Structure 1
């Protein structure tokens, strides 16, 4: 049996099985982790070193090429700038040429088409030819009149295309340039259909005496003046050289079709902050060629920019050998790492896998397994430690098995005792709970009786208070009734006196009315007397008038008597009005007194009746006070009995509460005892289950 088990273990530990397990589950394999660690770390290190070398060499090449290309651009710019300066100086020579200026002066007074004009034109043409014939880069020299009444002049004769030259924008710019030269951009067909592209420089030709310009000097230059200077410039494979004006248009390009068109935005250099001129180098991203290295320099004469562009890929192609070497090194390092990983798996992973399988068998219950290792390293020491551990576990399991059997027997007995105790405690708890419920109900009822007794006592106190208030109120009512009766008697007497006074007043008012009528009769007599007096005074006046001078004194007396009679009449009228008003008021007073006398009679009758009522009330209040005295005595006796009842109910409630508290405490203790008994049963059951489980688990081990 042991031999067969050994063969099976060897099969299980074969390299094929080990490799398949590592591949299937590398995260659980130390060998796989070590293998991956070696391979990945070496590859990453080699790749990092190679890429760092590649980047360093690439930057170094870019910087070296940038510096050399920039110096080339600067030299080419200076060379072209020197040529352009010579052309600029030539325009100055033409402007100050004495033969030319004198010939132009002579032509001012000549008519077009005359012989003298033709001769002078020929002289000017030959003078201009001295500047163009000696320099093969000059296409033609023009003198363009500012005024339209003069004929344009040129070194090669007047051609048809020169008539439209004034329509160009640079012509107006040259007129307003204040004597400064103006550079004219590239013209693919020249001014007059020249066989090759040209560009030019224009300057106003001023008179030295007047300072006014009559002609514009236009020097047409072949584009070869620039292309010849740039012919030998090479800043790298795939590079291009172009000349751009200030508007970003091609003045020179290797592709003739691109002339006068706008260069792409990436090809137009941008001025750096703090620099006035465009000069330097930078790396940009082109539209179709990837990263491009730009080197550029600006000309001083006309601010045109010479730009060189070369693909960065072409610059660093020599550095790619380093990248290739890096990948080769990565492959070699990967192979080396694989060999090292294989050795690590053989020396470390395989023994660990064997030891892991033995531990798995031990975990399944086979405590007889032992490790066999001949090595003296840490893995061999680990195998020896595993064997010692398995022997100690075997001894521990044996001892634990015996203890588990004893514990199981004890747990069975304890469980039976706990069940019996729990049943008894449950019955006690039920009985105690019923007693507690009864005591609680008694306490509740006693509390309710106590509360009702207290309520009755408070109500009795309120009744006693109300009775006392009622007694006081009845006494006050009796006093008030007695006082009211006396007041009513006095009021009766006063009412009778008032009636008699009213009757006397009515009689006196009637007498006054009769006296008023007598006054009116007297006033009528006095009124008649005033009328008679007035008539007598009138007659006396008439008689005095008849008497003449002797009757004047009598006439005055008659007038005075008439005046007194008139005043008496007026006074009698006023007194009559007053008398009539008094008569009217007396009449109204008599009517009012007539109406008031029956009311006083009724009031007297009502006062008599009220006096009778007050007497009756006084008698009834006396009887009520006597009854209230009897009720007060009964209520006082009832209050004393109620106090005794309240005290008794308080004692009953206290006893009931004490009994309820005691019952609840007993019920709580019984419930706690029941819980403890149940917990004891549970613990006994758990102990029994643990013992059974321990026994089952220990039965799995083989020793």
Structure 2
């Protein structure tokens, strides 16, 4: 029955422990708190970093796109500068051609027949046709001189033109008023100029007579004069095809990226790309805000730039660049949503990567937290067993971190406590043995004292009988002499026993002193343990400082990697390898930062556990101090016992001396029979005094016995307290 009850009790205790562990884990256990801490520390910075990085990414994309598109527009302006120069060179080649020279030079026309002159004009017309056929950039060539020598390609009747009105138009005057001139054989020419239009008196007359001229974007004009006649012979005009120019504006990098490239003349004429009408509802004019701003900025000397505007219900990034050496402007328009779409793609990539790495970090963190929690729970279970006094337990955890150091310190502390308890038990057994001997000696002394009291009573009776019966004095004296011998033997024996009790008291006092020395060693060991725990706490704080320093280095590494990525993106394809390296560095910085944060959490937990261990050590120090106080009380009790035994020994010595004197005087008693009556009276009085002294001795011995019993009880209590510890 007893075994069954014990097994049921053990099962209940195990069940309660399991429930308590589950309760601790569910309601705020260490693992749950650390996991929650990891999630909070991980997710909050990730959200903040994502928001911050996305802002930077969008701003960076806009800035880089702005720079890139300004570069694209600037490159396009240089390309169109080349087109302008090519058109000017082409018209110079036409004027310098031998056939054109023959057609418009009076000196070369002299002496030619009409047939030869017609042939020269026909050859000149073929020359112009060849120019248009071989270069799609040009849509028309017009050599305007007079009705006989003018050539138009595409052709329309010269009769429709009023040469007098033509020479009064602004575009004619603009060409002929150019001061710079060149001499090409027999013709003098001006520097070619760019015309936005030659509609006045020329295009108008052709349209009036239903003659459709090829559409042109702008023209290159040059005048030529016959040196021989010294008269303005005519003007040559080379039209740039509007369809070709619009197609050129369409076929560029900006258009491929979803943008538009426009050309703006100094007067505000807008040339749009070929597919503008397909995707856009409105056509900009010189009064359109962004066109007006571009023209205004170039007039102020700002040759290139970028800004944002709204047109046709959408937001655009507008970039512009003035064509070098010319007043024309190249304008680029890119919808902002196309630019930001790349940032949104980047945002999606960052979010996906963040989720993946966050999941990985959480899984790894939970794994390590559960592993550490398992070891800590194991240590806690062993602590609970040791708290009940079982010093046979030992923590078997092989780790090279603070938890391993804690387990080693605990094992060392248990071994020290085990040694101290063993010494305490041995000392308690010795004290109990000495107290048993003292108790036995005290009992024997009490018995002897009772015998002495009885003998003294007999002596008193004998004295009375001697006074009454003088005739029987000899027999009584013989008996008295015999009793005196017994009393002397008993007194000597009592003196010897008192001497033994005194020695035992001294041994007990020495034993208590040894116990005090052991307790002092226990205090020293406990103090050393507290110092070790404090050093462990200081080491943990130093580790925390180092981790914070590593976290700072990780942040700076990440910032450096970000700057490197920006520089690599600015360089373009050339810095793609460096961009990959910078990305890897940034990833390593993120991983380092997360690792330092996890280690920082572990260090904080170790610091808390160190504080708990220090609290337990302080509590143990208080218990040892209480034990010292008990030892001091026992030592004091021994000192009192020793003093009482010393007093007893002195009294016994006095009694022994008195009895020896009585023994020496018995001869005198025998020789003084005649005075027996008086001596008997005196003997009776002395006997009463001895009886009183004996009673006092008995009381002192009884007190010694009671104190010995109390000391024995204290020793047993100490032994029972030591039995709690299992060693």
* Smaller-chain TM-score bracket: 0.3 to 0.5
Q: TM-score, normalised by structure 2?
A: 0.36
Higher relative contact order (CA 8 A, sep 6+): 1
Which of 1 and 2 has greater Rg? 1
